[in-house]
Amino acid sequence: MTTTQASASAPPAAVPVHQRVAELAATHIGPWQEGYLSDRSHAVAALARLRRGAGRGAGETPDLWNLIDTDALHTPATGTTATDTRTLGEQQLVRAENALHAALTLWAFHQQSRGAPMHRRHTRERPAGLGAAVRQLMPADGIDEPVRKRLVRAGTAPDLVNLTQRLRDIVALLRRQDIPLDYALLAGQLYCWQWPDGPAAVRRRWGRSFHEQYRPRPASDETTTPDTDKDAS
């Protein structure tokens, strides 16, 4: 069998957990956001419930357990063969559920009383990662040091609950200026943040997107496909 044939017949690699978390966050937010902006009662009620969980741990908000559907996290990730089956371990499940809870509740707080979508997917042309969003709070020709320090303080939080509380303060500033954020990307990053060496890796992504926000793009970038990699910022 040739290398090409072997590659063609190989099953697809399992989807990384952080990407599964990101996709599940987008799946939840999409209908809620559309419904809220259309003033549909079920979405308005869901947002009101979610907002009460912003800045709190998933275990502290039992009212949301039947609202945030995590069944997809308990379903094995499968490839094309019966043997390519991977279930999440207990630590993976807990951290995935925590990240999903944090991202969804922060989005609900951000979306409250806003007439435009506050969740927007990140692309190369329109960055929507946390660092890029924070940079938009600042003047184009300078750095607002107190705002920058909020991002730094969030990155040095001792645990996820403290991180979510510090992110809530940042989201309040973004909300005031109608600056959207990619909450699917954030959900995946919050999952990664909970693992050893995760905080340092996530801080690097936030810092990179912060500094790249106003960097001039090469002319060749104008014809490239938008970068939707969830680790991009």
CATH number, position 21: 1.10.520.40
Query: Would you tell me how many other CB atoms lie within 10 Å of the CB of residue 70?
Result: 17
Taking only the tens place, the pLDDT of each residue in 180-199 is 999 999 999 999 999 999 99
| Residue 221 included in any domain | no
| Residue 140 included in any domain | yes
pLDDT at 6: 47
The Cα 49–Cα 11 span in angstroms is: 41
- Give the up-direction half-sphere exposure of residue 230: CA atoms within 13 A in the CB hemisphere: 22
| Helix/strand/coil (H/E/C) assignment for every residue in 123-171 | CCCCCCCHHHHHHCCCCCCCCCHHHHHHHHHHHCCCCHHHHHHHHHHHH
| Residue 89 included in any domain | yes
pLDDT at 223: 38
| Residue 54 included in any domain | yes
Q: Which of 1-5, 64-68, 129-133 has the lowest mean pLDDT?
A: 1-5
The boundaries of the domain holding residue 200 are 15-74+84-216
Taking only the tens place, the pLDDT of each residue in 28-47 is 999 999 999 999 999 999 99
| Residue 5 included in any domain | no
Convert 188-221 to b/e letters by CB count within 10 Å (16 or more is b): bbbbbbbeeebbeebbebbbebbebbeeeeeeee
| Residue 20 included in any domain | yes
| Residue 226 included in any domain | no
The Cα 86–Cα 27 span in angstroms is: 21
The pTM score is 0.82
User: Rounded to 5 degrees, what are φ and ψ at 4?
Assistant: -65, -45
pLDDT at 212: 75
| Residue 228 included in any domain | no
What is the DSSP code (8-state) at residue 56? S
The Cα 183–Cα 161 span in angstroms is: 17
Cβ-based neighbours of 152, under 8 Å, separated by 6 or more: none
Q: How many domains does the chain have?
A: 1
Taking only the tens place, the pLDDT of each residue in 92-139 is 999 999 999 999 999 999 999 999 999 999 988 889 999 999 999 998
Q: If DSSP codes are grouped into helix, strand and coil, which group holds residue 76?
A: coil
Contact 119, 174 (CB under 8 A): no
The Cα 94–Cα 136 span in angstroms is: 33
Q: Which of 81-90, 101-110, 169-178 has the lowest mean pLDDT?
A: 81-90
Q: Calculate the dihedral angle through the C-alpha atoms of 230, 104, 129, 40, rounding to the nearest 10 degrees.
A: 110
